[in-house]
């Protein structure tokens, strides 16, 4: 994964889309402003009527710039891939540790079976998990997703410690709140579920606990509140509305970058669809879930099947007719078949539905439902769904071990062969998907010149001095 990140394996020419943006954002915030230059923001910017551009992505990934602030000159161009790699590794470590806790708690004494399980877990996490998709892509889109993956995996690890190692859930409240609060500034839709889950656990431990427990619960609520207030403040600074997370299609407000720069019109089918049905709509959940889990990649003889599923998705409901399905598409049943199998086994275990893991299931389920109701489907969003599979998969370890540690019979031999095949298939599919996804976000150098920028905004009616200012590389706002 480090070789992928550093362009040593499967090297490419060009630069990743938006790879300098968080570095520039870090510098801008140190100067007391939120705005960024158009030639850096490009289509990912959201623009005020006067041409001032803002980054709509969460501010959380700025954390990884702090250790470099004293001895690195920003923007670097290389720190975004390193930051993605860092968060992906943290997420992997948490996932791996959670599985080892589940394995240690499983009442199976056959050491050979346990050794095999350790190997399978390691391969699933490190060679076909979300980090593969993240580390292979240095575009800005992957950085908040990677941070949310690390934080969400930390939440699952804390829940696993309570479920399998007997840890006190009251003591887990504050770190759970910290992880949930930081997720607000990476992937807010996931944080909605995490906030609800932490509140459920806090209510449960207060109901059962002492005054000391109430102090911990109060501290957790304060952390959640502070992180929420910071989000509202940043939204107000960028979009002039504390509840706004994104620019609109309306030119009189902070406008979506694709529309502002002419890539999409304000009266397009997609714009009208968002206006009528919203960015999030519950009618998309079921068809989106089918796409995310079962969609075959559009290659070879199955390309027609993939295209047919996409057509059926768009015809499902008016709320799905304009939803964008970005290539490459591949379902989680193909990407992570072993995890999906463990998830099915885990969902049938009563222990999953006890506190605090029941609150954890509500947390990951609520965030996933919001994702499935969104108006875009793309490969990196699969990572947001990972924890919905991971948490119940931990509880599927014990029944799987009991099956393979039992008496030998033909069904068991067939299952071993099938599991090995699923493991190899998942690794291969994850590598292919990661390689395909990275090609979508590599840009040709030198495209966004001053002349190109001036041409794009020529019809905006700006004075010549203002147009030159907007299209400057080192943008400095006027008083």
Residue 410 has pLDDT above 50, yes or no: yes
**pLDDT one-digit tens code per residue, 188-197:** 999 999 999 9
Q: Residue 239: pLDDT above 90?
A: no
Q: Which of 79-88, 227-236, 253-262 has the lowest mean pLDDT?
A: 253-262
Binning pLDDT at 50, 70 and 90, where does residue 358 land? very high
What number of helices (H) and strands (E) belong to the chain?
A: 22, 8
What is the torsional sign of CA 429, 191, 54, 21? negative
Contact status, residue 257 vs residue 47, Cβ threshold 8 Å:
yes
pLDDT of residue 10: 62
Quickly list DSSP for 370-437.
HHHTBSEE-GGGHHHHHHHHHHHHHHTHHHHHHHHHS---HHHHHHHHHHHHHHHHHHHHHHHHHHHH
Can you tell me the mean pLDDT for 170-186? 94
Whether residue 91 has pLDDT greater than 80: yes
Peptide bond between residue 356 and the one before it cis (omega within 30 degrees of 0): yes
Whether the per-residue pLDDT at 408 is higher than 80: the answer is no
pLDDT band of residue 343 (cuts 50, 70, 90) is very high
Q: Across residues 245-260, what is the average pLDDT?
A: 78
- Asked if pLDDT for residue 168 goes beyond 60, the answer is yes
Q: What is the mean pLDDT of residues 344-349?
A: 93
Strand partners, 324: 376
pLDDT score, position 190: 94
Distance between CA atoms of 379 and 373, rounded to whole angstroms?
15
**Selection from 252, 258, 251, 234 nearest residue 376 by Cα:** 258
Cβ burial, residue 32 (10 Å; 0-12/13-18/19+): exposed
pLDDT score of 470 more than 50: yes
- Three-state DSSP at 105 gives coil
d(CA 341, CA 19): 36
Q: Is the N-terminal amide bond of 57 cis, ω within 30° of 0?
A: no
For 303-405, strand residue ranges (E) read 324-325, 376-377
Q: What is the mean pLDDT of the chain?
A: 87
Point out the least confidently predicted range of 107-116, 145-154, 291-300. Answer: 107-116
Task: Indicate whether 448 pLDDT > 90.
Answer: no
The span from the CA of 281 to the CA of 118, in Å, is: 40
What is the Cα–Cα distance from 380 to 148, expressed in whole angstroms? Answer: 12
Alpha helix positions (H), 278-336? 285-294, 303-316, 332-335
* Beta pairing class for 376-377 and 324-325: parallel
35-74 pLDDT, tens digit per residue, is: 888 888 888 888 988 888 899 888 999 999 999 988 888 8
Distance of CA 159 to the CA centre of its chain: 20
Mean pLDDT over residues 406-413, rounded?
74
Q: Supply the angle between the helices 173-183 and 211-239 in degrees, to the nearest 10.
A: 10
Residue with the bigger pLDDT between 30 and 251: it is: 30
Predicted pLDDT at 12: 66
Flag whether pLDDT at 260 surpasses 80: yes
Question: Are the CB atoms for 438 and 136 separated by under 8 Å?
Answer: yes
Q: What is the pLDDT of residue 93?
A: 96
The model's pLDDT over 220-234, given as tens digits with 9 standing for 90+, comes to 999 999 999 999 999
pLDDT at position 479: 43
- Choose the weakest-confidence range: 87-91, 171-175, 474-478: 474-478
* pLDDT at residue 240, rounded to an integer: 81
Q: Dihedral (C-alpha) 462, 465, 471, 477: value to the nearest 10 degrees?
A: -100
Spatial distance between the Cα atoms of 328 and 447, rounded to a whole number of angstroms = 24
Is 80 exceeded by the pLDDT of residue 251? Answer: no
Cα–Cα dist 287/317, whole Å? 9
Taking the model in full, what pTM does it have?
0.92
Q: What is the pLDDT of residues 267-314, one digit of tens each?
A: 777 777 777 888 888 999 999 999 999 998 877 778 888 888 889 998
């Amino acid at each position: 994964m480090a070789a992928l990140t550093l362009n040593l394996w499967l090297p490419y020419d060009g630069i990743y889309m938006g790879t300098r943006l968080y570095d520039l954002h870090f510098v801008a915030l140190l100067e007391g402003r939120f705005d960024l230059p158009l030639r850096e923001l490009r289509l990912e910017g959201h623009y005020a009527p006067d041409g001032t551009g803002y980054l709509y992505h969460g501010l959380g990934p700025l954390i990884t710039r702090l250790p470099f602030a004293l001895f690195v000159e920003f923007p670097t161009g290389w720190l975004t891939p390193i930051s993605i790699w860092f968060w992906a590794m943290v997420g992997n470590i948490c996932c791996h540790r959670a599985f080892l806790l589940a394995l240690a708690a499983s009442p199976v004494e056959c050491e050979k079976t346990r050794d095999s399980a350790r190997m399978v877990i390691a391969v699933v996490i490190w060679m076909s998990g979300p980090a593969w998709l993240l580390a292979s892509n240095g575009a800005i889109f992957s950085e908040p997703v990677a941070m949310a993956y690390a934080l969400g995996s930390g939440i699952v690890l804390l829940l696993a410690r309570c479920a399998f190692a007997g840890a006190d859930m009251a003591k887990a409240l504050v770190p759970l709140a910290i992880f949930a609060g930081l997720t607000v500034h990476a992937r807010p839709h996931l944080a909605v579920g995490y906030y609800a889950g932490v509140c459920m656990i806090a209510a449960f431990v207060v109901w059962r606990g002492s005054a000391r427990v109430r102090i911990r619960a109060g501290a957790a609520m304060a952390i959640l509140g502070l992180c929420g207030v910071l989000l509202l403040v940043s939204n107000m600074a960028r979009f002039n509305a504390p509840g706004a997370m994104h620019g609109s299609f309306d030119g009189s407000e902070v406008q979506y970058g694709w529309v502002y720069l002419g890539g999409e019109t304000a009266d397009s089918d997609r714009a009208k669809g968002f206006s009528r049905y919203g960015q999030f709509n519950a009618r998309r959940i079921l068809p989106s879930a089918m796409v995310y889990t079962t969609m075959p990649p559009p290659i070879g003889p199955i390309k027609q099947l993939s295209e047919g599923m996409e057509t059926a998705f768009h015809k499902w409901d008016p709320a799905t007719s304009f939803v964008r399905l970005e290539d490459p598409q591949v379902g989680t049943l193909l990407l992570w078949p072993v995890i999906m199998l463990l998830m099915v086994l885990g969902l049938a275990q009563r222990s999953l539905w006890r506190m605090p893991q029941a609150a954890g299931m509500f947390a990951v389920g609520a965030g996933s439902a919001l994702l499935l109701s969104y108006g875009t489907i793309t490969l990196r969003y699969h990572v947001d769904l990972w924890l919905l599979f991971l948490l119940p998969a931990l509880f599927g370890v014990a029944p799987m071990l009991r099956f393979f540690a039992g008496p030998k019979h033909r069904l068991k031999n067939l299952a071993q062969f099938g599991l090995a095949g699923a493991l190899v298939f998942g690794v291969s599919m994850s590598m292919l998907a990661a390689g395909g996804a990275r090609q979508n976000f590599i840009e040709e150098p030198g495209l966004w010149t001053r002349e190109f920028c001036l041409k794009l905004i020529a019809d905006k009616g700006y004075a010549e001095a203002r147009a030159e200012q907007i299209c400057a590389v080192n943008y400095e706002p006027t008083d």
